[in-house]
Amino acid sequence: MVARTLWAPALVVLVGASLIGLFSVTPVAAQSLVDAGATRTTGEAALQQVDLAIKATDLAAAKAALGGAISSLEEQQSVLQNALTAATTDAERSRAQGLLNHVNAALASAQTGLQASDLSAAQSAANAARGEINEALNEIPAQPSVAQQAPTTLPKTGGFPIEVLWVAGLATLMTGAAMRRLFHQGA
């Protein structure tokens, strides 16, 4: 009598665990809203322009380089503002806002340098912008090369699909339990 009453709860637990195992699929890698590649590229372009401004020998060359940096920084600012408004989690918002803070500070420094009246002031502002750009670039993870990227799904190895084995196992257990109950009722 005890064996007959225990199979039903055991079967429910087994079926429940199987269903949880089959349907609890989590994504392998979530994509960040901040496009690290584009953000890094525009940041590096701005950094190159700022470096040209720091190395400039006259005010006009420094201002021209800072103008190019401002263009790159405004593009980067736009990407980050879009990512911030599209962010759905606190982590995404925090990441975008942190990068945006550095870009805004670099942009303000570059614009100050553009308004400078002498080369030294322009280079000083460019140096401040350089520091903020470097801070932003340090917070952006480097994009792994194609050879370093982990696959998002495991390759098919030719093995039998595990789902079929789960279903076959469950069917066998249920058939056995039904037959046991059927034969014990007749005895």
Q: What is the pLDDT of residue 22?
A: 46
Quick check: 105 and 130 in contact, CB under 8 A? no
Burial 50-74 (b: 16+ CB within 10 A, else e): bbbbbebeebeebbbbbebbbebbe
User: Residues 71, 171: contact at Cβ < 8 Å?
Assistant: no
pTM exceeding 0.85 = no
Residue of higher predicted confidence among 20 and 54: 54
d(CA 41, CA 39): 5
Rounded mean pLDDT of 16-34?
A: 44
Alpha helices in 59-118 (DSSP H): 59-86, 90-114
**Alpha-carbon distance 115 to 107, whole Å?**
13
Which pLDDT score is estimated for 59? 93
Average pLDDT rounded to a whole number, residues 170-179: 88
Q: What is the DSSP letter of 24?
A: -
User: Residue 150's pLDDT is what?
Assistant: 63
Which comes out higher in pLDDT, residue 24 or 181? 181
Q: What is the pLDDT of residues 118-131, one digit of tens each?
A: 999 999 999 999 99
Give the mean pLDDT of the chain: 78
User: Which phi-psi region, left, alpha or beta, contains residue 158 (left: φ > 0; alpha: ψ -120 to 50)?
Assistant: left
Domains annotated for the chain, with CATH where assigned, are 36-139 (1.20.120)
pLDDT category at 34 given cuts 50, 70, 90 is low
Measure the N-to-C terminal CA separation of the chain; round to a whole number of Å: 13
Q: Give the pLDDT band (50/70/90) at residue 26.
A: very low
What is the rounded average pLDDT of the residues 162-171?
84
C-beta of residue 11 within 8 angstroms of C-beta of residue 174: yes
Tens digit of each residue's pLDDT (9 = 90 or more) over 67-78: 999 999 999 898
pLDDT tens digits, one per residue of 148-165: 566 666 666 666 677 877
